[in-house]
Amino acid sequence: EPEVTQTPSHQVTQMGQEVILRCVPISNHLYFYWYRQILGQKVEFLVSFYNNEISEKSEIFDDQFSVERPDGSNFTLKIRSTKLEDSAMYFCASSRVYSNQPQHFGDGTRLSIL
Amino acid sequence: GQQVMQIPQYQHVQEGEDFTTYCNSSTTLSNIQWYKQRPGGHPVFLIQLVKSGEVKKQKRLTFQFGEAKKNSSLHITATQTTDVGTYFCAGPSVPGANNLFFGTGTRLTVIP
């Protein structure tokens, strides 16, 4: 069964540094998402992406965050200047279409900010 | 803003006992989805409910969507150790939105 893949599985970064998290969505899916989950808490929506542009974003997704689909397969999340509170598990997800469709999640990248 | 609360937050059951988690939204949901997250894992889609009062079953799992489309429940009959994990309900933040607003989750522990 096709899967969403994320790399790296764990990223350790100094506060203030830039970090890029990478995702390869399922190949015939059209909608891509980033979520984060602070340890022990619920999953929080960050951003959705369709047709090479942001579709929706949450209040968490401020100017420090950006997303990109640099080629036909990768989908990236960049955090420009990391803060301690950015430490979390970041999940990429994809769906074939939007609204009422199941989302398929990757295994996540655990981001630790020192 | 929208709130989706789940109760209980934690539940410990003996293997073979039943388990229920309740999901309550502050706003009407166009649809609700349920996800399971194993410890250390990622959310995995279980089911989607769309119609008011809808009931769906998957083997030992029974899902309900309330008449007002503001609440939902997941009931597991005769729990097994493989049921361990956190169960989240989730719905779009506003009708037609292509995001998921997750509930607070219920963490289920099954004691063998």
Q: List chain B residues with CB under 8 Å of A45.
A: 93, 99-102
What confidence category does residue A98 fall into, taking pLDDT thresholds of 50, 70 and 90?
low
Most B CBs within 10 Å: which of A29, A99, A104, A109, as the mutation test of the B interface? A99
Handedness of CA B4, B8, B10, B11 (dihedral sign): negative
Considering CB atoms only, which of A42, A95, A100 is closest to B50? A100
Is A5-113 CATH 3.20.80.10?
no
pLDDT at B74: 98
pLDDT at B98: 75
pLDDT at B64: 98
Q: List chain A residues with CB under 8 Å of B103.
A: 42
pLDDT at B93: 80
Whether A24 has a pLDDT exceeding 70, the answer reads yes
Instruction: Read off the pLDDT of residues B56-69 as tens digits, 9 standing for 90 and up.
Output: 999 999 999 999 99
Domains of chain B: 4-111 (2.60.40.10)
pLDDT at A72: 78
Judge: B99–A50 Cβ closer than 8 Å, yes or no: no
HSE-CB at A43 with a 13 A cutoff on CA atoms is 32
Q: Mean pLDDT across the stretch B106-112? A: 97
Instruction: Read off the pLDDT of residues B18-47 as tens digits, 9 standing for 90 and up.
Output: 999 999 999 999 999 999 999 999 999 999
Considering CB atoms only, which of A42, A98, A99 is closest to B105? A42
Instruction: Read off the pLDDT of residues A57-94 as tens digits, 9 standing for 90 and up.
Output: 999 999 999 999 988 789 999 999 999 999 999 999 99
pLDDT at B12: 97
| More confident of the two residues A73 and A20 | A20
- Other beta carbons within 10 angstroms of residue A14's beta carbon come to 9
| More confident of the two residues A100 and B11 | B11
Judge: B103–A33 Cβ closer than 8 Å, yes or no: no
Lowest mean pLDDT among A33-47, A83-97, B88-102: B88-102
Most B CBs within 10 Å: which of A50, A103, A107, as the mutation test of the B interface? A103
Mean pLDDT of chain A: 93
Q: Spell out the long-range contacts of B19-22 with Cβ–Cβ below 8 A and sequence spacing 24 or more.
A: B19/B75, B19/B76, B19/B79, B19/B83, B19/B108, B20/B73, B20/B74, B20/B75, B20/B76, B21/B73, B21/B74, B21/B87, B21/B89, B21/B106, B21/B108, B22/B71, B22/B72, B22/B73
Whether B7 has a pLDDT exceeding 90, the answer reads yes
Judge: B100–A58 Cβ closer than 8 Å, yes or no: no
Q: List chain B residues with CB under 8 Å of A56.
A: 97-99
